[in-house]
Structure 1
Amino acid sequence: MATKEELCSKIKEVFPDIGACGIDVEVDYDDTNKAWVVDLKKDQHELKTFLEEPEAQQCMEGKQCVSLGLQIAELRRNIDQL
């Protein structure tokens, strides 16, 4: 299993616009749900998404980060509507 630092770095590598558009990302493992919690923030906007371990592993391998990409796109849409 990846560490939160490794997963966070991979997310920033796969989605370089996170830093470019000022979106902060935090990653923590939720033992209760047995999934990674990816918390995206920009100003007063915040979105959290759960990343199941198999999907997190696929993301780490550079294969796919679909649900995370959708969350990032939604956050950017919310910000752009301001």
Structure 2
Amino acid sequence: MDKNELCQKIEQIYPDIGQCGIDIRVSFDDDNDRWRVHLKKDNKSLDTFLEPGDAELCMEGRQCVSLGIEISQLKDNIGQ
């Protein structure tokens, strides 16, 4: 899995992220050995981290609970 695949999966789950003006960036944080998901809207931005195992389960279509909860919370907070 690479950052583009994970980013596309997030956009698939939340297709309104790009459409409602929220930019998303995904990168692997080598220092923390986790995926960093960065959301930005206007002058607000938020980061969250996903464990590699959680991201892999989601990419395999088996479980996206952790990813869904994190992205939903970020989206709700950034949209305020």
**1:61-72 correspondence to structure 2 within 5 Å:** 61-72=60-71
Could you tell me how far apart the structure 2 residues matched to 1:51 and 1:80 are?
21
Partner of 1:74: 73
Runs of 4+ in 1 over 6 A off after TM superposition: none
Evaluate the alpha carbon distance shift between residue 64 and residue 33 of structure 1 in structure 2; reply closer, same or farther with a 3 A threshold: same
Instruction: Check whether the contact 2:45–2:78 (CA below 8 A) recurs between aligned residues.
Output: no
Report what 2:11 is aligned to. Answer: 12
Task: Indicate the SS of the match to 1:33.
Answer: coil
User: Is the 2:6–2:26 contact (alpha carbons within 8 Å) kept by the matching residues of 1?
Assistant: yes
Match for residue 24 of structure 2? 25
Q: For residue 64 of structure 1, report the CA deviation from its aligned partner.
A: 2.7
SS of corresponding position for 1:38:
strand
Report how many residues are paired: 80
* Structure 1: distance between partners of 2:3 and 2:79: 29
Identity %: 56
- TM normalised by structure 2 equals 0.82
Q: Which TM-score applies when normalising by structure 1? A: 0.80
Instruction: Say which SS state the counterpart of residue 64 (structure 1) adopts.
Output: coil
| Equivalent residue letter for 1:40 | L
Amino acid at match of 1:48: D
Contact 1:12–1:18 (8 Å) recurs in 2: yes
Gaps of 5+ in 1: none
Unaligned ranges ≥5, structure 2: none
